Structure 1
Amino acid sequence: MAKLDSLENKVVWITGASSGLGKALAQECALQGAQVVLTARRIDELEKVRVGLLNPDLHLSICADITNEAQVLHAYEQVLAAKGRIDWLINNAGLSQRALITETTMQTERTIMEVDYFSQVFLTKTVLPTLLKQKSGRVVFVSSIAGLLGTQYRASYSAAKAAIHMWANSLRAEVAEDGVDVSVVFPGFVKTNVSINALNGVGQAQGFDNEATANGLEADEFAQYTVKSLMQGDEYIVIGGRKEKLGVLVSRLSPSALYRMIRKAKVK
């Protein structure tokens, strides 16, 4: 568990960096002195983020769809050509869901798993040889408290976020002796467009926010806490309000009590 006093000149590659948690993480890493590589599908949005960062000329925008393996490989080559190393890979890009299981098509199930699980596995497997060669680095996965609890209207999302958590656990064990660290972040409700962009049962963006997200933690607060925890070498990082943290605690102490709580919960 490598601890860092500073991110000065560390290369931090963040996916889903054009908005929301990714943008906030990029801003915080730049404040801590990192050279940030921003990746998302929209180059114009990435550039807006990059020029707003501290010391914008130190940072790099690389456009890629993380579900397109050829684009991911090309992005990886660009990062190494420009920066020569990767210190942190933050797998942040993700896609949520707001639909009952009975209303969710198999195509939507697969789309969410592709974004939230398979694409992150592929990018990590792509970057891993560099980290192993360096004998240093940290792979970070932004999972979700939904991946620890599983709630109504989020079955596919919860499953994908749980899957990447378990994959990360295995990765951590396999590279423990090679100088590579693995962290998983479990956000609760944070004020972003995650609910607006969440897929409904037929795979279309929901298009509106929900109360819990609208009243959630500010994205910059999330980013400050996350980056501080990562610099401390934390591997299991739960960030949320009182209810979310209580749910995580109950899930460990009494799964059956958690299931009763979730059945009664008014979530959407």
Structure 2
Amino acid sequence: MAKQDLTGKVVWITGASSGLGKALAKECALQGADVILTARRYEELEKVRVTLLNPERHVSVCADITDESQVRHAYAQVLAAKGRIDWLINNAGLSQRALIQDTTMQTERAIMEVDYFSQVFLTKTVLPTFIAQKSGRIAFVSSVAGLLGTQYRASYSAAKAAIHMWANSLRAEVAQDGVEVSVIFPGFVKTNVSFNALNGEGKPQGHQDEAIENGLEPDLFAQSTVSALLAGEEYIVVGGAKEKLGVWVSRLSPSTLYKMIRKMKVK
């Protein structure tokens, strides 16, 4: 497959005010895209937008992706501003740091709402545009945790696995319409994800994990991811040697992986 080019393409990124979303926005702008940045706080989006290459070409569209009316309004704003969408990157997400026995059902549902249902709804909202265009790529930021399942991340792993399987079905259904679907599986990347991760009570953890602190730099994650998306890759694992080894073992010998995970110190 010939490598695609992002020059003049419209890329819509959720969770774009910080972390992976901010890094992806920066990389897409460097590659020539018109970037639509979405998150809940307009001021934070604007702080990111003005740092991007050619800031006047990019648009901040504020929305809480768990609110369906806000998502519909955001979609209308994107089409009014740009008239098309070439890439949708479903990046907004919420992590978890709690044992199953300490996690309330309210917290279980909150994580599933952000990491699964909201991405499903946004994608379903945008899908008619992709199908009418007969082109475009829809990408989902899952997680290596969605492939492996580890302690303290049960709900998060489940939600990230769910969006992966939903994306697989979507890929099969829209292939004949010229629409492509990719799933990205980041390992540990140095962002604020663990500060915002929910404990069992549904409150932010409020501190950094050692593994995250020692993780991949966000800019390197974004460069690898955008390069893979441009190459048309559908299954994209981005992380360090440990995470890549875990994914490899999960395919070859699930039982070996389960034994490895039991011994891991993952919190």
TM-score normalised according to structure 1 size = 0.99
Rounded Cα–Cα distance in structure 2 between residues aligned with 1:242 and 1:183: 22
Deviation at 1:3, TM superposition (A): 3.8
Rounded Cα–Cα distance in structure 2 between residues aligned with 1:27 and 1:171: 27
User: Partner of 1:53 in structure 2?
Assistant: 52
Which secondary structure state, in structure 2, belongs to the residue aligned with residue 39 of structure 1?
A: strand
**CA deviation digits over 1:15-49, x for unaligned, max 9?**
00000000000000000000000000000000000
Are the aligned partners of 1:2 and 1:181 in contact in 2 as well (CA < 8 Å)?
Answer: no
User: Partner of 1:69 in structure 2?
Assistant: 68
Deviation at 1:84, TM superposition (A): 0.2
User: Partner of 2:137 in structure 1?
Assistant: 138
Rounded Cα–Cα distance in structure 2 between residues aligned with 1:147 and 1:215: 20
Listed as ranges, the matches of 1:169-248 within 5 Å are: 169-248=168-247
Rounded Cα–Cα distance in structure 2 between residues aligned with 1:123 and 1:190: 25
Rounded Cα–Cα distance in structure 2 between residues aligned with 1:155 and 1:91: 21
**CA deviation digits over 1:208-234, x for unaligned, max 9?**
001000000000000000000000000
**CA deviation digits over 1:140-183, x for unaligned, max 9?**
00000000000000000000000000000000000111100000
Gaps of 5+ in 2: none
User: Partner of 2:94 in structure 1?
Assistant: 95
User: Partner of 1:252 in structure 2?
Assistant: 251
**CA deviation digits over 1:34-68, x for unaligned, max 9?**
00000000000000000000000000000000000
User: Partner of 2:124 in structure 1?
Assistant: 125
Relative to structure 1, the CA distance from residue 94 to residue 2 in structure 2 (aligned partners, 3 Å threshold; closer, same or farther) is farther
Aligned length: 267
Gaps of 5+ in 1: none
4+ residue segments displaced more than 4 Å: none
Rounded Cα–Cα distance in structure 2 between residues aligned with 1:252 and 1:3: 28
Percent identity over paired residues: 80
Letter in 2 for 1:122: F
User: Partner of 1:109 in structure 2?
Assistant: 108
Which secondary structure state, in structure 2, belongs to the residue aligned with residue 175 of structure 1?
A: helix
Rounded Cα–Cα distance in structure 2 between residues aligned with 1:24 and 1:191: 11
1:152 and 2:151 matched? yes
Are the aligned partners of 1:25 and 1:227 in contact in 2 as well (CA < 8 Å)?
Answer: yes
Deviation at 1:2, TM superposition (A): 7.2
Letter in 2 for 1:42: R
Rounded Cα–Cα distance in structure 2 between residues aligned with 1:58 and 1:262: 45
TM-score normalised according to structure 2 size = 0.99
